Amino acid sequence: MAYANPRIVVGAVATWQDRVLLAKRAIEPRKGYWTIPAGFLEVGETVAAGAVRETWEEAGARIAVDRLLGIYNLPHIGQVYMVYRAQMLSPTFSIGTESEDVGLFGWDEIPWSDLAFPAVQWALRHHREREGVADFTPFAEPPTLHWER
């Protein structure tokens, strides 16, 4: 018997000082749009390890995972996003095989109209709301945000 189970997407809102690491996608879906480093969890790895791996693969950055920022359920596409808050270990980053560009963005520089997915916007806004808060409860559902494309 075969089961159709949702896929787990893992990622990180990684920062260096007050800037957020974003990568411009070089692959579909949403090629040419910006995202946090994220991708599918692989068999045999923890969620946090997956976020570290995806950040390295997509943005060439080493990170230390702080804590879970949010869990975003997207049943209409069969995905669950688990996004961590993380600190970059240095300001070093590079373009990965799945990225066209990578950069560090201040809050007012984030290309909001060119973000790849709603979950990226949710995670960035949750990060901003919890910035500087050491003890917080992760979001368990997407907030009520209107997403226009």
- Residue 140 inside a domain? The answer is no
- Residue 91 inside a domain? The answer is yes
pTM score over 0.85: yes
Per-residue pLDDT tens, the chain, 149 aa: give them.
888 899 999 999 999 999 999 999 999 999 999 999 999 999 999 999 999 999 999 999 999 999 999 999 999 999 999 999 999 999 999 999 999 999 999 999 999 999 999 999 999 999 999 987 878 788 776 655 444 44
Q: How many domains does the chain have?
A: 1
- Residue 33 inside a domain? The answer is yes
Residue 13 domain boundaries: 7-130
Q: What would the DSSP string read from start to end of 33-83?
A: -EE-SEEEPPTT--HHHHHHHHHHHHH---EEEEEEEEEEEEGGGTEEEEE
